[in-house]
Amino acid sequence: MRPLSAEELSHLAGRFKMLGEPMRLKILQSVCHEPRTVTEIVEATGSTQANVSKHLALLAASGILERRKEGQCVYYGTKDRLVLELCDLVRSQLVSRSGSR
From first to last of the 101 residues of the chain, give the pLDDT tens digit.
789 999 999 999 999 999 999 999 999 999 999 999 999 999 999 999 999 999 999 999 999 999 999 999 999 999 998 999 999 999 999 998 887 65
Please state the pTM of the whole predicted model: 0.87
Task: Give me the CATH topology for the region 8-99.
Answer: Arc Repressor Mutant, subunit A (1.10.10)
Dihedral, 28, 38, 71, 62 alpha carbons, nearest 10: -40
Per-domain residue ranges of the chain: 8-99
